[in-house]
Structure 1
Amino acid sequence: MNPIQEYFYRIDEPERSTLLFLRKKILESDTENITETLSFGLPFFKYKKKMLCYLYYSKKHQQHYISFYHGDKLDHPLLLQEGRKKFKILLIDTDEDLPLDFILNLIKEVKQYIK
């Protein structure tokens, strides 16, 4: 098992399945340019080798989240900045449907700032 798989294996269900589904959809959204690495012990997604987003767990909110680089340029009420300079986060509630289209649209928007 590689380190990225180990990261997800340590997460309990139903969060694991939700995050694995999200991971798959992010990678499939641009198979040529989006790659996955493990940085700081977290799964990072990169666009053309530059930071795009990552997955992590918020102890404060007791939820997993996706954090978007260039989040400071994104304007949406569901995104939380909470003192971060370049990132904003979107909390992932496993009791509700995953807002996949919204997440993929945010990724498209971030990619525009990377180009």
Structure 2
Amino acid sequence: MLNDLENFYLNQPEPNKSCLLALREVILALDENIADAWKYRMPFFYYKNKMFCYLWIDKQTKEPYIGIAKGSEFTHPLLEQGGRSRIKILRIQPDQDLPINDIQVILREAMTFY
């Protein structure tokens, strides 16, 4: 039987499904101290047991993004603050190659705040 976390990924339409599963692998491969969990009804990632980032789908564009918990602590041209107080997001185009280098650079920078 699948849990809520697995169901989230598997119930997404393509190309979001493949994109989100690839993002999950990229995030988990960054560091052995990163673990994923189901929290706030979304896939969340913890770094050293603290909230690190999450994956979600933008309601308007229907495209995925990575929400970075300590995003307000640093700047990067690809991060968007929007109306959020401490989280910044990195939008992902699901029908294009993942910007793996940018994702890794941004998430490694976020790790320095833990």
Other-structure match for 1:47:
47
Classify the secondary structure of the residue corresponding to 2:22: helix
Q: Name segments (4+ residues, structure 1) moved above 6 Å.
A: none
Contact 2:54/2:66, CA 8 A, preserved across alignment: yes
Q: Which amino acid aligns with 1:80?
A: E
TM-score normalised by length of structure 2: 0.93
Q: Which consecutive residues of structure 2, in runs of 5 or more, have no partner in the other structure?
A: none
1:26 aligns with 2:27: yes
Other-structure match for 1:71:
71
Q: How high is the sequence identity, in percent, across the aligned residues?
A: 39
Q: Matches of 2:62 and 2:7 in 1, distance apart?
A: 21
CA drift of 1:26 comes to 1.0
TM-score normalised by length of structure 1: 0.92
Other-structure match for 1:106:
106
Q: Which consecutive residues of structure 1, in runs of 5 or more, have no partner in the other structure?
A: none
Q: Matches of 2:20 and 2:55 in 1, distance apart?
A: 8
Q: Give deviations 1:76-110, integer Å, cap 9, x for gaps.
A: 22211111111000111012221111111111111
Q: Matches of 2:105 and 2:77 in 1, distance apart?
A: 15
The alignment's C-alpha RMSD in Å is 1.1
Q: Give deviations 1:21-72, integer Å, cap 9, x for gaps.
A: 11012112112x1011100110000001101100011113331110011111
Q: Which amino acid aligns with 1:4?
A: L
